[in-house]
Chain A
Amino acid sequence: MNVGIMGVTTRRGGVPVRRAGVLAVLLACALGATACTGRTAPVDRAAVSSVDRPAPVGVVADPPTSSGDAAPVPPCDPRASLRPGPLPKPGAMPEGSTMRAIQDRGRLIAGVDQNTFLFGFRDPTTNKLSGFDIDRVYEIAAALFGDADRVQFKVITSAERIDALKRGDVDVVVRTMTATCARWAEINFSAIYYTAGQRVLVEKESPIASADQLGGQTVCAAKGSTSLNKLRELTAKPRLLAVDNWSDCLVLLQQGQVSAVSTDDTILAGMVAQDPNVKLVGPRFTEEPYGIGIPKQNEDMVRFVNGVLAQSIAAGSWTASYDLWLRAKIGEASPPPATYRD
Chain B
Amino acid sequence: MGQPMVTTAPPAGDAPSALRRAGRSATTTPGRLSVVWAVLVALTVAAGLVSALTAQTKQDTLGDLVEQREPLAAAAQQVFRSLSDADAVAASAFLSGGVEPAALRERYELDIAQAGAAIGDAAANLGSDPVAAGHVSTLSRQLPVYTGLVATARANNRQGYPAGAAYLREASGLMRSKILPAAEALYSGDYDQLKAAQADARSFPWAPAALALLLLIALIGAQVYLTRKTNRLLNVGLAVATAAVLVGVVWASAVLFLAAGKVADGERTGSAQADVLVHARINALKGRADETLTLVARGDGPGYEAEWGQLVDTLTGDGPANLLRQARDMAGTDPITAAMADADAWRAAHQRIRELDDSGQYENAVLAAIGSDPRSAATAFGELDSSLDSAIRAARTEFATATSGAGALTTGLPLGLGALAVVAAAGISTGIRERLREYR
Contact = CB atoms under 8 A, between A and B. Distances in A.
A187 to B, nearest CB: 18
B319 interface: no
A166 interface: no
Contact of B149 (A46, A54, A152, A153): A54
Contact of A48 (B97, B141, B171): B141
Contacts of B297: 155
Nearest to B167: A251
B362 A125 contact: no
A126 B298 contact: no
A199 B86 CA distance: 39
B165 A122 contact: yes
A275 B107 CA distance: 30
A158 to B, nearest CB: 13
Interface string A281-317: 0000000000000000000000000000000000000
A247 interface: yes
B164 interface: yes
A109 interface: yes
Given A109-B360, A248-B166, A251-B166, A57 B160 contact: no
Interface in A241-297: 245, 247-248, 250-251, 254, 271, 274-275
A54 B170 contact: yes
A182 interface: no
Contact of A55 (B170, B302, B359): B170
B162 interface: yes
Contact of B162 (A106, A109, A117, A153): A117
Nearest to B366: A127
Given A54-B149, A57-B173, A124-B97, A247 B166 contact: yes
A51 B141 contact: yes
A274 B156 contact: yes
A94 interface: no
A210 to B, nearest CB: 25
Contact of B298 (A55, A109, A153, A275): A153
A181 interface: no
A152 B159 CA distance: 26
A80 B165 CA distance: 36
A216 interface: no
A324 to B, nearest CB: 14
A207 B298 CA distance: 39
A152 B360 contact: yes
Given A48-B141, A57-B173, A114-B298, A275 B160 contact: no
Contact of B165 (A52, A114, A153): A114
Interface string A101-120: 00000110100001111000
Interface string A215-248: 0000000000000000000000000000001011
A126 B360 CA distance: 18
A115 B298 contact: no
A115 B166 contact: yes
A125 B142 contact: no
B279 interface: no
A300 to B, nearest CB: 22
A326 to B, nearest CB: 16
A151 B163 contact: no
Interface string B90-107: 000011111000000000
Interface in B265-315: 297-299, 301-302
Contact of A155 (B141, B299, B359): B299
Contacts of B97: 124-127
Interface in A54-84: 54-58
Nearest to B99: A125
Contacts of B156: 124, 274
Contacts of A126: 97-98
B298 A116 contact: no
Contacts of B162: 114-117, 121-122, 124, 247, 274
A271 B363 CA distance: 27
B301 to A, nearest CB: 8
Given A57-B170, A127-B98, A152-B360, A250 B149 contact: no
Interface string B359-371: 1101100100000
Contacts of A114: 162, 165, 298
B178 interface: yes
A159 interface: no
A56 B298 contact: no
B393 interface: no
A163 interface: no
Interface in A17-69: 46, 48, 51-52, 54-58
B402 to A, nearest CB: 38
A123 interface: yes
A124 B161 contact: yes
B169 interface: yes
Given A116-B162, A274-B159, 5 more contacts: A54-B174, A57-B172, A117-B161, A117-B162, A251-B167
Interface of A: 46, 48, 51-52, 54-58, 106-107, 109, 114-117, 121-127, 150-156, 245, 247-248, 250-251, 254, 271, 274-275
10 closest Cβ pairs, A-B complex: A127-B97, A152-B360, A57-B173, A247-B166, A155-B298, A121-B162, A124-B157, A274-B161, A107-B360, A155-B299
